[in-house]
Amino acid sequence: MRLQPLFAAAEASEPVAWKNLLPVVFLIVLAFYGWSTVLRRRRAGLEIVPETPRRLVPWNGGLTLLSAFLYVGIAQVGAGLLIGYFYQAPESQHALPAVDAQTLTDPQWTIAMFQAHGIMSYASVFAVLVLMIAAAQARLDDFGLGLADWRRYLKLGIIGFAVIVPPVVVMQGLLNVVWKSQHPIIVAYQATGDSQLLFWCTVAAVFVAPFVEEFFFRGVLQGWLERAVAQREELTAPTGDETGPPPPEASLPDPSSVPIVFSSVLFALVHMGSGPDVLPIFFLALGLGYLYRQTHSIWPGFIVHTLLNAWSMLALAFMQ
């Protein structure tokens, strides 16, 4: 989930209020801190984020695909069934309304949707953990859930937020000048201004989406893609007795970037319904994928993701 109200004041006829400039100043200071840290490391000849040795994840493509079906079946379909439990329908209404743009103007329905989806999203994570542990003898570290190096993950998450988020938010704001975001949280809150709805939107954006999305897209999907690429490299690696020029594959870019790009494309595609969000989300996912590849942990990306969504919710409420 990504929000945008950075350039909202540009469309207003009244002068820009000082409070509307605070997010801009914040982003400038944040970007200066993050990028100066990156440049210092590059000038010293160091990797931006040192790579942590790890074992390849034990699950295969079939289990990865089954995990995707479990997520859709539990988090999406299951939430649709559970929403009726939370939704307090008007007395004149005896059935759930159809899911459309008009539905988002009903705060009670939207709150019920976020509650049901949050519960079932965590249920899907639990189901996949059980599946992978039982079928592939996976450990929590294989999913990037280990916390042994939590201080480093926290530091990387904060610096990653300072590096990744400012250009992503600026891109989002520029795109929204010509193409309005249609994210359901933006649509629902701007249509109603309901404070209870804002609370549940914040819960979904800060406490549900970052963990669930990082678990599936980085921990499960990118983890398997890295294994698939590594196995392909083993099959095509020279045995040591070949002569002559290297094969054509040797001139290709580092294949370790393929899992990052592929998982980022899929991550952006699942947000296609949010209008222009898909492009900045793709670049956000590239940064999150890089953090995962270098650390084999979802926690740095989770921190970036959480801070971005928290900042977005504050900006939405602040500039409303």
Would you list the DSSP string of 142-211?
A: GGT---TTHHHHHHHHHHHHHHHHHHHHHHHHHHHHHS----HHHHHHHHH--HHHHHHHHHIIIIIHHH
On whether residue 219 sits in a domain, the answer given is yes
Boundaries of domain holding 216: 15-56+143-235+253-319
On whether residue 131 sits in a domain, the answer given is no
H/E stretch holding 17:
none
Q: What is the mean pLDDT of the chain?
A: 83
Q: Could you report the per-residue pLDDT of 51-79, keeping only the tens digit for each?
A: 998 899 999 999 999 999 999 999 988 99
The size of the chain, in residues, is 320
Q: Could you report the per-residue pLDDT of 225-267, keeping only the tens digit for each?
A: 999 999 887 776 565 555 544 444 433 445 579 999 999 999 9
Looking at the predicted structure, is the pLDDT value of residue 5 above 60? no
Q: How confident is the model at residue 84 (pLDDT cuts 50, 70, 90)?
A: confident
Ramachandran class of 193: left when φ > 0, alpha when ψ lies in -120 to 50, beta otherwise: left
On whether residue 272 sits in a domain, the answer given is yes
On whether residue 1 sits in a domain, the answer given is no
What is the DSSP secondary structure assignment for residue 93, as one 8-state letter? -
pTM (two decimals): 0.85
Looking at the predicted structure, is the pLDDT value of residue 8 above 50? no
In this prediction, residue 12 carries a pLDDT of 43
Quote the tokens at residue 227. 């294994």
On whether residue 247 sits in a domain, the answer given is no
How many domains does the chain fold into? 1
On whether residue 31 sits in a domain, the answer given is yes
Distance CA 191, CA 102 (A): 10
In this prediction, residue 28 carries a pLDDT of 86
Angle at 66 (CA atoms; ends 60, 67), nearest 5 degrees: 90
On whether residue 62 sits in a domain, the answer given is no
On whether residue 84 sits in a domain, the answer given is no
Q: How confident is the model at residue 4 (pLDDT cuts 50, 70, 90)?
A: very low
Q: How confident is the model at residue 100 (pLDDT cuts 50, 70, 90)?
A: very low
